[in-house]
Structure 1
Amino acid sequence: MGGACSRKRDLVDESDTRTTSGRYSKSGSSRWLLFSLSRSGADVARRGQGKCPSLMELCVAKVREDINKYSSFSMLPRDISQQIFDELVESRCLTDVSLKAFHDCALQDIHLGEYPGVKDNWMGIISSQGQSLLSLDISYSDVTDSGLVLLKDCSNVQDLTFNYCDHISDHGLEHLSGLSNLTSLSFKKSTAITAEGMRAFTNLVNLVNLDLERCLKIHGGLIHLKALTKLESINIRYCNCITDADMKPLSGLMNLKELQMSCCRVTDAGIAHLKGLSKLSHLNLEGCPVTAACLEVISGFISLLILNLNRCGLSDDGCEKLAGLLKLKVLNLGFNNITDTSLVHLKDLINLESLNLDSCKIGDEGLLNLKGLLQLKSLELSDTEVGSNGLRHLSGLHNLESINLSFTLVSDSGLRKLSGLTSLKSLNLDARQITDAGLSALTSLTGLTHLDLFGARITDFGTNCFRCFKNLQSLELCGGSITDAGVKNIKDLTSLTLLNLSQNCNLTDKTLELISGLTALVSLNVSNSRITNAGLQHLKPLKNLRSLSLESCKVTATEIKKLQLAALPNLISVRPE
């Protein structure tokens, strides 16, 4: 968040200088800032550690501290009132009372998504920004149809976000029909909106992005988008009411670039209606009941960069159509009945950066077809029949940053084939087949930030390898035979934000003492261990901790609650409760 007046927005008339108020007067702005900065604020600047805060930052902080002293900010330059507003929102200090000070401040951006207490009586202040208002987010609010009436005065607004607003219905949509400058509109999970209400969209001729995810009553409503020829992105994910018939109105939206349709009821027949959308670059059909027959149409989307066919029940038949999608950067084929035969058709997709083959029926020989995908950064092979021999085909993928080998047949010998992939940052292994010897083969991967060794057979001796992974941010070492002695090799990984040591039943309170210096930790799981209430005191330095799990330990919810209240103010997820 910050000052908004430096951004170029065509619809805002900056010639309205309001010289009597000094709103755009540089000297007026400076005088107000100097007046507002108290002596104590100046002392803060002198005492500050690290980077010295700017004069603006000091003043905004001072205003937040003394917010009850001000009745109006309308005389301030817009960029200053915008920063004050944003700071109050960020610090959760904006209230019904302090909001009134922003009446007629010509704010451009009001982002109150998930902010508590937003309701209809806030809309009067919001609408008072008039033609200056360009974007508004009141997601998760209690605003009703009556509150939306007031937006009619904000005719220049371009971006509206009303996600999870349960009290907005078709009647509320009618009040938006005159906002013809809208380019982005979002109503995620608005269960009261129906196909009839979408009639109000017909006048939004400049709409570019429309998000109706999880709106379950809009079957038949897409007909009202037919004339919105500037539309580039439509999100109707998880709208299980959407069928093949809803696709026909989209056939004329020739500027459409992104279409999100996860878990809709669209079949091959519906995809056929999209045949002429030559600019489509992002298509998500995850969980739709399509077959490989739809690939005939998809093969014509020559601009396609992202294609998600996860859980579509595809087989090898028809997958040869994928070979022509030469611009593809992201391809998700997870949870389909495809085999090594289909991978032959991927070998020429040399621009691929991400490939998901999770739970597909592929093995070592199929990986030979990936050998030439030198731009690949992410590879998902979880729950496949890939083993150690197949990894030799991946040894030349030097741009690979993430690979998931969980629930595969890869053993210690296979990990040696990964040792040259020095760009790897994330590695998931089925550690039931990985021992200390295999882990030692990875010590060259010093750039690792995420390492998941679920079901580990790693011992205390093997944890010596962790000393090489100084950049680790996430470490999951579950279900192994690690003791306090092994944790000594983890205690210096100060970049860790997530640590999961669950199912290591020999860990004691000493472990909590050892990791007490990992002050960046946000999530900690030491469930199913021998930790007791006495050990909880060692967690006091972990001020950033938000999630703590100590299930099946010798601790009580009462003692954890005491710790939370006394020393861990950010802790929001606790087990046991």
Structure 2
Amino acid sequence: MGGACSRKRDHQVDEDNIHRGFSRRYCKSGSSKWLASTFSRSLSDVKQGIRKSPSLMELCTYKICKDINNYSSFSMIPRDISQQIFDELVYSQSLNYDLLQAFRDCALQDLNLGDYPGFNDSWMDMIASQGSSLLSVDFSGSDVTDSGLSHLKDCTDLQALNFNYCDQISDNGLEHISGLSNLTTLSFRRNNMVTAQGMSALSGLVNLLKLDLERCPKIHGGLVHLKGLTKLESLNINCCNCITDADMKPLQGLINLKALQISSSKVTDYGVTFLKALHKLELLNMEGCPVTAACLESLSALRALLYLNLSRCNLVDDGCDKFSRLQALKVLNLGFNEISDAILVHLKGLIYLESLNLDSCGIRDEGLVNLAGLNSLKRLELSDTEVGSNGLCHLSGLGNLENLNLSFTVVTDGGLRKLSGLSCLKSLNLDARQITDAGLAALTSLTGLTHLDLFGARITDSGTKYLKCFKNLRSLEICGGGLTDAGVKNLKDLTSLTLLNLSQNIHLTDKSLEAISELTQLVSLNVSNSRITSAGLQHLKSLENLKSLTLESCKVTANDIKKLQSSDLPNLVNFRPQ
């Protein structure tokens, strides 16, 4: 379903990562995209503040950074000023080893250097010179080794440490941080060197609240060293296919655990029985685990549970009556399971349910009647189901619904009229080839929409006139190939847009960029596979907030974009071609 131009929603532009300026390796994985969070605070506010309404402090910072080679030390100025100078240099990627020395002994608190080019062990001595003032360090994606990590031993007040994707840190490196008992947050995702034996170094981190070990394939048996970390509230071991039922047993004593992620592990129904004592657990991600409906017996003891992800698990209709016991449940994800309309009758009693994911389940129109009374629902995923226009009448009374995904369904233009009363709807996904201009016309009463995905829909220039009704739109995707420059002109009043995807519309020319130039809040723009040329780039000079620009399969080169970046778009951090 959906036609050649369509794509699953997992492939959409990751606006969240664009805002942060992270590299692509930090994009949300399939297992945790619904729970993504960032470790480091964004530095973009500093730059944007300078360009919009700079304070005296920001103006001074900007001036100092511009003349940075004139300064040899910042240790004598107030810490908040030196911190802001440091952050600005990092954001603009102007920092190097020589400039770094000017910040020695500056008592900096936060060093957010994740994925920073050239960062290696030689930088760690300066970082350690911040001493007891240092509270957080992020050197993820760097070339730091065990030896470099040893420099942090004396930073005894360190609270947050992130070395994701540092593939040269091993068990010996963990031993160097074993004495940092004030750590509350520790993350070393995708580490192939740390083993179960090395995890013994974590047993002394008694104040740890958040531990992220996603994609660490050698930690089986190591969770036993977490038994004494009774303050732990969040544990992420997603995509660790070495984790088995035996690893769940040591977790039963972590009575303050609120979030546990074990997706794509080997945990079965038996392993889930060890989780029954986690009465404060609010979030449990078991996507892709080899559990069956029998695990619901154990899960029914988790009265505080608000978010449950059982996507891609081996659940079948048999035994699904146990869902009705999960009275406190707010989020239920059953995507990619062998679930049919039969299960929906067991959901009727979950009157507090706020999020329901039935992606790729065997759901048809008749099953939706069981959702009519779920008045607390805010998010409903029906993508890749057999739901059609007739079933949408059962959704018309869900007055609190904010997010609805109907991509790759058999819903037609006529059925969309039944959604006209959903006044709280903010996000709507209609990535399906059978949706046309007439369907868009039926939605004009949904003036609160902020995100509209019409990726593969057959929208033409005539249909774009209806978009004027959605003044609050922040994200819009129309990639069905039916637009020309005339249609893009109708978008110029959507001044709140931050993400615009018009790829695959092969008739668009530089005139479209001229119309888009008025959308000055844009952060992400994609006009790939069009007739855009290098000459048209001049129209983008007004888009000072632009961070991502994609013009693949256009008559534009990487050098053309780099020139635009250097002269007019300093915030642009991600572009294609590159």
TM-score w.r.t. the length of structure 2 is 0.84
Question: 1:440, CA displacement in angstroms?
Answer: 1.2
Residue 300 of structure 1 is matched in structure 2 by 301
Counterparts in 2 of 1:275-424, with a 5 A limit?
275-424=276-425
Separation of aligned partners in 2, 1:76 and 1:535: 46
Identity of aligned residues (%): 72
Which deviates further from its counterpart, 175-184 or 539-548?
Answer: 539-548
Q: How many residues are paired up?
A: 530
Unpaired stretches in structure 1, ≥5 consecutive residues: 1-47
Residue 151 of structure 1 is matched in structure 2 by 152
Is 1:522–1:546's contact at 8 Å kept on the other side of the alignment?
yes
Question: 1:260, CA displacement in angstroms?
Answer: 0.6
Is 2:50–2:59's contact at 8 Å kept on the other side of the alignment?
no
Matched letter for residue 223 of structure 2? L
Is 2:409–2:432's contact at 8 Å kept on the other side of the alignment?
no
Separation of aligned partners in 1, 2:557 and 2:101: 46
Please give the secondary structure, in 2, of the residue aligned with 1:517: coil
Matched letter for residue 377 of structure 2? L
1:39-75 Cα offsets, whole Å, 9 max, x none, are xxxxxxxxx9998644433443343334334333333
Counterparts in 2 of 1:45-56, with a 5 A limit?
53-56=54-57
Separation of aligned partners in 1, 2:562 and 2:90: 28
Question: 1:363, CA displacement in angstroms?
Answer: 1.7
Please give the secondary structure, in 2, of the residue aligned with 1:470: coil
Is 2:354–2:378's contact at 8 Å kept on the other side of the alignment?
yes
Residue 438 of structure 2 is matched in structure 1 by 437
Matched letter for residue 192 of structure 2? T
Separation of aligned partners in 1, 2:301 and 2:529: 54
Which deviates further from its counterpart, 541-550 or 561-570?
Answer: 561-570
Please give the secondary structure, in 2, of the residue aligned with 1:423: coil
Matched letter for residue 425 of structure 1? K
1:163-194 Cα offsets, whole Å, 9 max, x none, are 11122111111111122222221111122111
Residue 45 of structure 1 is matched in structure 2 by none
1:148-176 Cα offsets, whole Å, 9 max, x none, are 22222122222211111122111111111
Residue 170 of structure 1 is matched in structure 2 by 171
Q: Are residues 1:82 and 2:87 paired?
A: no
Residue 37 of structure 1 is matched in structure 2 by none
Separation of aligned partners in 1, 2:553 and 2:393: 42
Is 2:537–2:564's contact at 8 Å kept on the other side of the alignment?
yes
Separation of aligned partners in 1, 2:150 and 2:495: 52
Counterparts in 2 of 1:218-229, with a 5 A limit?
218-229=219-230
Counterparts in 2 of 1:164-313, with a 5 A limit?
164-313=165-314
Which deviates further from its counterpart, 476-485 or 270-279?
Answer: 476-485
Counterparts in 2 of 1:496-575, with a 5 A limit?
496-531=497-532, 535=536, 538-551=539-552
Separation of aligned partners in 2, 1:88 and 1:571: 16
Q: Give the 3 Å change call, closer, same or farther, for CA 525–208 of structure 1 in structure 2.
A: closer
Is 2:449–2:472's contact at 8 Å kept on the other side of the alignment?
yes
Q: Give the 3 Å change call, closer, same or farther, for CA 518–140 of structure 1 in structure 2.
A: same
Matched letter for residue 468 of structure 1? C
Is 1:364–1:389's contact at 8 Å kept on the other side of the alignment?
yes
Separation of aligned partners in 2, 1:545 and 1:292: 47
Q: Give the 3 Å change call, closer, same or farther, for CA 59–178 of structure 1 in structure 2.
A: same
Separation of aligned partners in 1, 2:147 and 2:170: 10
Please give the secondary structure, in 2, of the residue aligned with 1:273: helix
Residue 63 of structure 1 is matched in structure 2 by 64
Separation of aligned partners in 1, 2:492 and 2:549: 17
Matched letter for residue 118 of structure 2? G
> Of the two structures, which has the highest relative contact order with CA contacts closer than 8 Å and spacing of 6 or more?
2
TM-score w.r.t. the length of structure 1 is 0.84
Q: Are residues 1:137 and 2:138 paired?
A: yes
Separation of aligned partners in 2, 1:425 and 1:357: 19
Separation of aligned partners in 2, 1:333 and 1:327: 17
Is 1:286–1:311's contact at 8 Å kept on the other side of the alignment?
yes
Q: Give the 3 Å change call, closer, same or farther, for CA 218–51 of structure 1 in structure 2.
A: closer
Which deviates further from its counterpart, 216-225 or 52-61?
Answer: 52-61
Q: Cα RMSD (Å) of the superposition?
A: 2.7
Matched letter for residue 266 of structure 1? V
Is 2:459–2:480's contact at 8 Å kept on the other side of the alignment?
no
Matched letter for residue 268 of structure 1? D
1:261-312 Cα offsets, whole Å, 9 max, x none, are 1111111121122222222111100111111111111111111111111111
Separation of aligned partners in 2, 1:563 and 1:51: 20
Unpaired stretches in structure 2, ≥5 consecutive residues: 1-48
Question: 1:486, CA displacement in angstroms?
Answer: 2.4
Q: Give the 3 Å change call, closer, same or farther, for CA 559–102 of structure 1 in structure 2.
A: closer
Q: Give the 3 Å change call, closer, same or farther, for CA 565–64 of structure 1 in structure 2.
A: closer
Separation of aligned partners in 2, 1:485 and 1:56: 45
1:340-399 Cα offsets, whole Å, 9 max, x none, are 221222223233222211111112222222222223222111111111121112112222
Is 2:547–2:572's contact at 8 Å kept on the other side of the alignment?
yes
Q: Give the 3 Å change call, closer, same or farther, for CA 531–168 of structure 1 in structure 2.
A: closer
Is 1:313–1:335's contact at 8 Å kept on the other side of the alignment?
no
Residue 41 of structure 1 is matched in structure 2 by none
